[in-house]
Amino acid sequence: MAQVRPDALEAALSKKVPVIAWVYGDEPLLIQEAADALRAAARRAGAEERQVFEVDRFFKADRFVAEAGSLSLFGAARLLELRFGGKPGKEIGEMIASTAESADASLRLLVLSGKLDRTTTESAWFGRIERAGLIVPVYPVERRELPRWIAGRLGRQKQRADSATLELIAERVEGNLLAAHQEVSKLGLLFPEGEIPAAQARAAVLSVARYDAFDLVDAVLLGDRERTLRSLEGLHAEGEAPPLLIWAISDAVRTLLRLHAARASGLALAQALRAARIFGARERAFEAAARRISIADCEQALRSAALTDRIFKGVGDGDAWLALERLVMRLAGVPLPGDN
């Protein structure tokens, strides 16, 4: 069959229930919803029995193969579910592929795992699985897509909200998609169908945003000043380790320097991004930063990062968090007192 996005899964399942489906990614809510949709489709196809296998160090491949090849005691179709706790290896992957290729009409397979690297998704055995069934890659909802995601979830409840309210909800639930889902569900209980009153919605939605170092880096590179400050304040409040933040910012700046160097050597932007090992969702952020942050700015930022690190370690003078705030806000494009 093919790959399918989680939001297109229901439509794909209405046409055909695959012999095997593999859902992978690092967004628990969306993985759970995709798995629920696949389980429901398997039940509609007659799979009345379901057996779960945890793929860990106690996993017995021969037991799984034997179970897949056996007949149900009651003659019913069955769903075998494999849950990976770590990275799937070649041997187990080939076993799953062979099982899917030889499965009879009474068997359905569902595989759940964390994010897969390119080596895995481009392997021969994974290609066999993709040809035999459905692959459902689950990616985190990016911050810029979050208001639209929230609007879509409200639409399922036959509700809607204005753009300012959607943006406010997104700010309050950023980085915590499960909480976002819960807040949207709460609005469904509090308000009738139709337009949600803006003031009441603002009062009802809690601030449950969660941030990590890479949220901060993304905001800095995009020049999103408000989000940069909000991310840093959230990380400070959550007790994030400052050395990790300094490392993440410094690593992004060094990557940006590599991008500048690649462009200076005459490479086109797309080639320069590949040369600097910038792929996927990161491309947009680094493209924006390259237009705004010069080589001189990068070099100054690295010196400031080193000084900030010394302050955090107690071998430099000053307020460490204030120094970090000045560093990220300057990179985000905020002119500060004392800047030329």
The secondary structure element, H or E, covering residue 160 is strand 159-160
Condensed to tens digits (0 to 9), the pLDDT of residues 311-323 reads: 988 887 888 888 9
Closest CA to 28 of 115, 156, 145: 115
Instruction: Let me know: does 47 contact 79? Beta carbons within 8 Å.
Output: yes
Condensed to tens digits (0 to 9), the pLDDT of residues 251-308 reads: 999 999 999 998 899 888 888 888 888 887 788 889 999 999 999 999 999 999 999 9
Condensed to tens digits (0 to 9), the pLDDT of residues 249-266 reads: 999 999 999 999 988 998
Sequence-distant (6+) residues with CB within 8 A of 293 are: 256, 301, 331
Domain boundaries, the chain: 2-138, 143-204, 213-331
Distances (CA, A) of 332 to 40, 174, 309, 326: 46, 19, 19, 10
Residue percentage of the chain with pLDDT more than 90: 50
Distances (CA, A) of 50 to 54, 113, 231, 244: 13, 18, 43, 43
Instruction: Let me know: does 26 contact 114? Beta carbons within 8 Å.
Output: yes
The CATH number that domain 143-204 falls under is 1.10.8.60
Instruction: Let me know: does 291 contact 209? Beta carbons within 8 Å.
Output: no
Condensed to tens digits (0 to 9), the pLDDT of residues 69-105 reads: 876 555 578 899 999 988 898 999 999 999 999 888 8
For residue 101, the model assigns a pLDDT of: 92
Greatest alpha-carbon span in the chain: 79
For residue 37, the model assigns a pLDDT of: 94
pLDDT band for position 19 (50/70/90)?
Answer: very high
Condensed to tens digits (0 to 9), the pLDDT of residues 108-147 reads: 999 999 999 999 999 999 999 999 999 999 998 988 899 9
For residue 74, the model assigns a pLDDT of: 55
How many Cβ atoms from other residues are within 10 Å of residue 144's Cβ? 14
How many Cβ atoms from other residues are within 10 Å of residue 194's Cβ? 9
Q: Where are the beta strands (DSSP E) in 20-114?
A: 20-25, 47-55, 77-84, 107-113
Which tokens belong to 299? 């070099």
Q: Judge residue 161's burial from the number of C-beta atoms within 10 Å of its C-beta, 0-12 exposed, 13-18 middle, 19 or more buried.
A: buried
CATH topology of domain 213-331: Zinc Finger, Delta Prime; domain 3 (1.20.272)
For residue 336, the model assigns a pLDDT of: 63
Condensed to tens digits (0 to 9), the pLDDT of residues 177-236 reads: 888 898 899 899 889 999 998 888 888 887 777 788 888 999 999 999 888 988 898 888
Residue type, 183: E
Distances (CA, A) of 93 to 123, 135, 302: 9, 14, 43
Q: Enumerate helices (H) and strands (E) in the chain, giving the number of each.
A: 17, 8
Sequence-distant (6+) residues with CB within 8 A of 257 are: 295, 298, 299
Instruction: Let me know: does 232 contact 328? Beta carbons within 8 Å.
Output: yes
For residue 194, the model assigns a pLDDT of: 94
Q: Which CATH class is domain 2-138?
A: alpha beta
Question: Rounded to 5 degrees, what angle do the CA atoms 176, 180, 184 make?
Answer: 175
